[in-house]
Amino acid sequence: MAERRVDRRGSDGGGSAALAASPAPWEIEYSPDERRAGVDTELKDSEREYKLSKDALAAYENLGNLRATLSNNEEIKFWRAWYASEAGLLDEAETIYEDLILRNPENVWSYNALGYLLAKNDYERLAKAVELLERAVEISEEPATIHSLGYALHKSGDLEAAEVHYIKAVELLTANQELSADDETAQEIFGSYGRILLSLPDRDSNFERLLTYLRNKRQDDPWRSAYNEVLFLQAFYKNRPSEEIVEHFSKLSENSSNSSRPVIIYALMLQRMGDQQDATILLNRAGNYIDEESSNDALDFYAFALNEVGMMAEAEDVLRTLITREPNNPWFYGRLGYLLAKEGVDIEEALEHLQKALELAPGRPEFQSFYAWALHESG
């Protein structure tokens, strides 16, 4: 059968006469091989366009405009949901993932994607996220599923359980010596493990072993990206960064063309070394990469850096945006309340935000401490 080119709007490019003489795209019967080839082609096209444009919304819409035989394909729908989440269309992504789970209750990746989406973006439904991710791990113990469950447990405050899952994810991951260069899961797993080691007591030797392991493999991605992330954690949280580390991240910042993270990391290092002016310039540059499609994690890290460097008004704006996006996350209220109290501009509003944080997370010692301090500042 001759190849028939049908674009994403359902047109074959031949004008009205061609359409009149031909069946509509959804009336064409495709063999399984042709349908598989169509799925592969569309996914590769969307991935290539997304990498070039970083326009997740366009990718989401394009995959929704395919002929019915493709747009209803599970793999197409899965990636459409992923693009929706990247574009900030969280409700749309959740709806698609839930539909995929109903279609195929044994599809591990639908459970994993939905659980991780909720863990990252909806503090109020962390319990549901944990339930979904436990089901994903039950279906298949993959590095990604185990890490996702660890992440949800970490975010809910169960650090010891999170550590157990991160260790298992690292063990499974390091047993695989053929990771792809753009394996973001590998970068996230090592970063999460490094972060939990710095959050728990008596883990210094484990952290050093992790850093040494990645240093010995850093020639190629994803090991190089993971090494950079863990090196940053060591430099920022443990001690004053060395000149070698600062130079390393300076180069990463200069070569960053579409990501705010390397720029923010370098700005934080300069701030730690007392270079407030250049740190401020870099954070203003990082702001060029932050937009309405930026993830909550990216905004959260940006707000943290702005606060560290003393750009309080900018940090306040970002935290208010995060509260609008995720109105049931106590951490955003707590941090905004603490920031306002520290500025001394509006103690009453600061106390309101801290009270809200305590309502959402009763008994959290961090918020109790923030609230007591704000009361003291209010006189």
- CA–CA distance from 9 to each of 38, 49, 240 (Å)? 15, 16, 56
Identify the pLDDT of residue 12. Answer: 34
Distance between start and end Cα atoms, the chain: 82
Full-model pTM: 0.68
User: Which residue numbers in the chain have pLDDT < 50?
Assistant: 1-31, 34
CB 88 within 8 A of CB 299: no
Pseudo-torsion of CA 37, 39, 40, 42, nearest 10°? Answer: 120
Q: How far apart are CA 113 and CA 121, in angstroms?
A: 12
Identify the pLDDT of residue 179. Answer: 64
Maximum C-alpha span of the chain:
82
Q: Is 181 exposed, middle or buried (0-12, 13-18, 19+ CB in 10 A)?
A: exposed
Identify the pLDDT of residue 3. Answer: 31
- CA–CA distance from 41 to each of 7, 57, 171, 336 (Å)? 11, 19, 34, 46
Tell me the pLDDT tens digit for each residue of 172-192: 888 876 665 556 788 889 989
Nearest to 137 by CA among 152, 122, 123: 152
Contacts of 13 (CB under 8 A, 6+ apart): 5, 7
Identify the pLDDT of residue 71. Answer: 64
CB 97 within 8 A of CB 110: yes
Where are the chain's structural domains? 37-104, 240-283, 311-319+330-379
Identify the pLDDT of residue 24. Answer: 36
Identify the pLDDT of residue 28. Answer: 37
